[in-house]
A and B are shown apart, each in its own frame.
Chain A
Amino acid sequence: MFLKSGRLRKNVLVIVLMLALALGACSNNGQSGEAKSEKDGVTTVTFWHENTGVGEEAIKAVVDAFNKKHEDIKVKPVYTAADESQNEKLLAAVAGGNPPDVSWFDRFKVGSWAEQGALTDLTEYAKQDGVTKDNYYPFAWNEANYQGKLYAMPVDTDARMLFYNKDAFKDAGLDPDKPPKTIAELEEAAEKLTIKEGSRFKRIGFIPWYNQGWLYSWGWAFGGDFYNEEEGNVTLDDPKIVESLEWMTEFAKKYDVEDITGFTDSSGSGAMDPFLTGQLAMHIGGNWSISGYLKYKPDLNYGVAPIPTPTGDNFTSWSGGMAVVIPKGAKHPDEAWEFVKFFGSEEGQEIYNDIYKTLSVMDSVNEKLGYKDDPIFSEFVKILPKSHNRPVLPEGELLWNELANAVDNAIHGNGEPKELLKSTSDLVNAELE
């Protein structure tokens, strides 16, 4: 009895191990950039991305267009299932010396990854092939560069603006064609639009820090500067930025921040967006929300306007977006560059942004795609030449999180805006050294 079961167990073990090995052998060729890429003179370029749905279709269209043009290079897109906030997969692959040839990349991270030597310097390639900053919006090109070198090829972008519900405006006796331009007008409109019953809001006029109301949005709107390029340090305690945070804090006090968080915390994408349900009359949003609005509430009567400023002029915004990069250690950097160049060119951008309905980093492409004639998109395209980019720093991520913390603490009354920003500034500068 025992012998029998013992043998049985051994057999099971052997079978299992063999299965496991066979499985491993089968899928081994999946490893990026490894082996059997060069077959009949065709180089396979692996391209990792994390786009889903229409975004993935857009990427595949660009890849197809490229592959049709190049007989000796075949780009293979691989969906990585990573999400924006987690980058372990690429990180581990680069650390292991086995990265893809091309990767989809948030431009925001260019500073930190370039500082770590994890991205291939594209400056020489660009120079050779005549790719210059002339065709791109200044912020997009800036964000792809770190310390005077090009590390990424920008492919799409976004911008933040004031979204307002025209029906709500009519309802509150405001002119739906005259969105607020100054901060004072914004406050006034917000007050008129707000309907509060007890601690519960039936409708909130405006929440400064909701959605894209980051400190970047307000600091720049108030005319502040976050970074001193010459001295190489962040200047978060710039009086204008302090002013903007003080304004947000005042707002939080006036409307009771705990009551407001009911809205902000339940916020999400899709049909539950309070802006769609009419519970929020105005907010600072990005162009990527537009397709969702169309999907969930096609008849939403809304408009967009620049983020109000204290003076009612000098409107601005800030923009981020995606890029393609060649990670350090990529097996076929030359061929990868061909694809990167194509994606960043007018042709590639047109294909991508047309399908995905995002903004191109080239003004000419936005014009071609008809964005300038669209009542909503044209507002975005208009602001882009004046848009800012977040400072390209090795500590960009830390700066981002610390700014979010500072705002969070300020509006919850945990400290004075000025001191909070001063200490955040000191903390980030200490890390920068």
Chain B
Amino acid sequence: MKSIANKRKAARTAKTNNINNGATGWLFAAPWIIGLFLFYILPLVVSIFFSFTSYSILQPGEFIGFQNYKELINDELFFKSIYNTVYFAVIFVPLSIIFGVALAMLLNIKIKGMTIYRTIFFLPTLVPHVAIAVLWMWMLNPGFGLVNGFLDMIGIKGPAWLGSEEWSKPSLIFMSLWGIGQAIVIYLAGLGDISDEYYEAAEVDGANWFQKTFHITLPLLTPVIFFNLVMGVIGAFQQFTLPYTLTQGQGKPANSLTFYVMYLYDNGFKYFKMGYASAMAWILFVVIMILTILIFWSSKRWVHYQGK
């Protein structure tokens, strides 16, 4: 009798909770729902509209239907920029995750001086972009740069790096990997989130380092990896500041560093074709959206939340 009464009580609480949840949930999210609408959706809707016009920032332009989208199909540089961007994303995102997780795990070992190491890995993200660009041009200088100097020592003739069509994108990927300090911080926070008890239990079972990494650490880090994957894809497809500063907006050599958003920017702000640029933005949106949906869809198989 008593247990039934208890159950009923529990059920009732759960029910009220759920009803409450609806309102509280909205309430908690309210600031963001307002912000989302004002600062994000409003400008977005405006930009969808622009993509069907010849809007130039300075002039409203005319409604031209799908003209911008049609023109894009015949735009060689548009496709070139897609190629460059996909090339960058496909190589950079996985590399950044592998290196990021590996370094974060290294930085999570409890040894002396770790605070200093962690700070060091974070440092490159603090150096201004202009400085980074200049530094790299200096280091990758084919004749006198540090990198080729080093390769010379071990008997390899280094390529022209940023001066070479073939090597410019790998160089950029290499440079970008320097900035994974932020991702490492996120991984570290994720690692800190994993309860020690899992490891203690595993140790009791006699698990080795390998087993602990692949059966505890990595699975429990998946929510964070998932986050960095999604954000990595978004970021890689919107790559802009570093190549733009590096090539003074030209995408040299031979457009091998003209990335999608760089071309979009030139169209919008230099050629006064903001309508065209908006159309580009929405195509990019669709591409990233599809990729994100794929990632989300696959995440059910590989992302494990501790809470569940």
Q: Which residues of A contact B (CB under 8 A)?
A: 85-88, 91, 94-95, 112-113, 116-118, 199-201, 258-266, 268, 272, 394-395, 397-398, 401, 404-405, 408-409, 412, 414, 431
Contacts and interface: CB of A to CB of B under 8 A. Distances in A.
Given A112-B272, A259-B160, A264-B163, A201 B254 contact: no
Nearest to B134: A268
Contacts, number: 91
B137 A91 contact: no
Given A268-B134, A408-B253, A261 B272 contact: no
Nearest to A84: B248
A405 B253 CA distance: 8
B305 to A, nearest CB: 27
Interface string B128-145: 000000100110011111
Interface residues of chain A: helix, strand, loop or mixed (majority): helix
A203 to B, nearest CB: 11
A408 to B, nearest CB: 5
Given A265-B141, A268-B137, A95 B57 contact: yes
B254 A409 contact: yes
Contact of A408 (B58, B159, B248, B254): B254
B272 A262 contact: no
A401 B249 CA distance: 9
B20 interface: no
Interface stretch (B38-46, B263-271, B277-285): B263-271
Given A95-B57, A200-B143, A268-B137, A262 B163 contact: yes
Interface in B244-297: 248-250, 252-255, 266, 269-272
Interface string B80-100: 000000000000000000000
Contacts of B272: 112, 116, 394
Given A87-B269, A116-B56, A408-B255, A262 B249 contact: no
B58 A117 contact: yes
A216 to B, nearest CB: 15
B208 interface: no
Contacts of A398: 270-271
Given A261-B160, A265-B162, 17 more contacts: A87-B269, A112-B271, A112-B272, A116-B57, A116-B58, A200-B142, A201-B143, A261-B164, A262-B143, A264-B163, A268-B137, A397-B271, A398-B270, A401-B266, A404-B250, A408-B254, A409-B255
Nearest to A397: B270
B7 interface: no
B59 A116 contact: yes
Nearest 6 CB-CB pairings of A with B? A261-B163, A262-B142, A116-B58, A266-B141, A262-B143, A258-B160
* Residue among A87, A112, A258, A405 with the highest chain B CB neighbour number at 10 A: A258
B58 A265 contact: no
A401 B141 contact: no
Interface of B: 56-59, 134, 137-138, 141-145, 157, 159-160, 162-165, 248-250, 252-255, 266, 269-272
A423 B79 CA distance: 16
Contact of B269 (A91, A200, A266, A409): A91
Contact of B250 (A261, A263, A401): A401
A265 B163 contact: yes
A404 B143 CA distance: 24
Nearest to A279: B143
Nearest to B137: A266
Given A85-B248, A199-B157, A262-B142, A395 B58 contact: no
A262 B248 CA distance: 17
Contacts of B143: 200-201, 262-263
A85 B269 CA distance: 10
Contact of A266 (B138, B248, B254): B138
A414 B164 CA distance: 13
A91 B57 contact: yes
* Residue among B56, B248, B249, B254 with the highest chain A CB neighbour number at 10 A: B254
B71 to A, nearest CB: 10
A398 B272 CA distance: 10
Contacts of B254: 405, 408-409, 412, 414
Contacts of B59: 116-117
Contacts of B159: 258
12 contacts: A94-B58, A112-B271, A112-B272, A116-B57, A262-B141, A265-B137, A265-B160, A266-B138, A266-B145, A398-B271, A404-B250, A431-B271
A260 B59 CA distance: 44
A117 B252 CA distance: 32
A397 B266 CA distance: 9
B152 to A, nearest CB: 10
A64 B256 CA distance: 48
Contacts of A404: 250
B193 to A, nearest CB: 23
A350 B252 CA distance: 39
B142 A259 contact: yes
A261 B166 CA distance: 13
A395 B271 CA distance: 7
Contacts of A263: 143
Contacts of A412: 165, 253-254
Contacts of A118: 58
A88 B59 CA distance: 15
A265 B167 CA distance: 13
A263 B269 CA distance: 30
Contacts of B56: 116
Contact of A405 (B142, B145, B255, B269): B255
Contacts of A201: 143
B174 to A, nearest CB: 15
Nearest to A199: B157
Contacts of B157: 199
